[in-house]
Amino acid sequence: MTATVGASATAQVHKSHLRTLVGTGIGNAVEWYDWAIYATFSPFIASALFSSADPTSAVLSTLAIFAVGFVARPFGGFVFGWIGDRIGRKTSMTIAVGLAAVGSLLIGIAPTFQAVGALASVMLLVARLIQGLAHGGELPSSQTYLSEMAPKEKRGFWATLIYTSGTAGILAGTLLGAILTGVLSKADMNAWGWRVPFLVGGALGIYALVMRAKMKETEAFEAEAPKEKREPMWPQIVKYRKQALQVIGLTVGLTVVYYIWGVVAPSYAASSLKMDRGAALWAGVIGNVAFIASLPFWGKLSDRIGRKPVLIVSSAGAALLHFPMTWLLKDSPWQLAVSMSVMLFFIAGSASIVPAVYAELFPTKIRTVGVGVPYSICVAVFGGTAPYLQTWLGSIGQANMFNVYAVILLAIGIAFAFMIPETKGKDLTH
């Protein structure tokens, strides 16, 4: 009888864990999918929603709106961080994925510049601001939720779900792009094919919203003091400014090199290096598969030897190999696949565990907003401008300057990794 009760309790725990992982993962995948397909399909968006009189200006305008979407992220980090710390992690995550779905649907149905003029560009801007707000809230909410739900001795491994699911979303968008460009003619892609990924993203977002509505709240949040006794938010943010600065320091290099190698590399290879677009997208699939395969290795390693050694080794590896892999990348798809795979292996070290590290830096009462605001500001300032800066410097013959910039940011991340406390196995109920 005791054995039966024990087995039943274990099965319930496993079912609860599975619901947590699936609900968090699918919503996170949809958010990242929405974000990445914009970069992948930016040339088609440029031709459809901006004036065709100056193609170069249209592409730069499209990338500028990509950056503008990041401007909304700090606001999303604060708003959804407040919701997460005051109302609940689950509520914050659910609303965020719903907003992301709305943004994706707006892009998918946006009228062309030829039909309505500048209104098409304005509609794109509004959609990206909505997505920026949602994504600014999604990451800190889902990272905090997952870290609080994870067994503390396996938190590093559980944390890998964030970038695993996110990259799966990017991979799905990349695969869909490769299939569409292979099956449809260029005329069809420009006319309507580019809209398909955004409409799919909107539908998946609605499904993720339903999934998250069924999840339960974390014990750490429910054990926190009653709402009426909680301290005001802004004094708490100021109180933990050191930890907020640590989040920024750990993020600057990671966000730039990840967007370079994990998101925009195939698009950059096709646009700037004149690589066949379909072949570049398939090479990107290979690189992202290598990234996903690397994440569990680093996450488990951090649960054994600690967070700091993994952060330092992975960032140092990425910094040392950035220039060699950039020099390797010329005009061949195999070069793109190899360079992406090598760089993403080392980037995976930091990416796998930063969700756990961020959560372990803050107490429960300020954990979501404490992570969300500095993280979103950092990603907006550095990650959001990376594709535009890379394209602009390349257009004026100074591409090497961007590579120097990326390595310097990685060095900053290494310095902060040395300065933070070791947090492996920390109890998150305080």
pLDDT tens-digit map of 68-107: 777 788 888 889 988 988 888 999 999 999 999 999 999 9
Q: What is residue 71's three-state secondary structure? A: helix
Look-up of token digits 């950035």: 322
pLDDT at 10 over 70: no
CB atoms within 10 A of CB 408: 13
Split at pLDDT 50, 70, 90, the class of 301 is very high
> Which range, 201-210, 229-238, 304-313, 393-402, has the best average confidence (pLDDT)?
304-313
Contacts of 370 (CB under 8 A, 6+ apart): 81, 236, 237, 240, 243, 244, 247, 361, 362
For 325-382, how does the pLDDT look when each residue is reduced to its tens digit (9 = 90+)?
A: 989 988 889 999 999 999 999 999 999 999 999 999 998 888 988 888 888 888 888 8
Alpha helices by DSSP H, listed for 259-306, are 265-272, 277-305
Quick: pLDDT tens for 394-414: 778 887 898 999 999 999 999
For tokens 């509609």, what's the residue? 123
pLDDT at 54: 62
Mean pLDDT, residues 117-141:
86
The dihedral region occupied by 335, where left means phi > 0, alpha psi between -120 and 50, and beta the remainder, is alpha
Q: Which amino acid is at 233?
A: M
pTM of the model: 0.81
Q: 318 with 364: CB under 8 angstroms?
A: no
State which fold the 19-214+234-419 domain adopts: Growth Hormone; Chain: A; (1.20.1250)
Q: In 333-424, which ranges are continuous DSSP H helix?
A: 333-361, 367-378, 386-395, 399-419
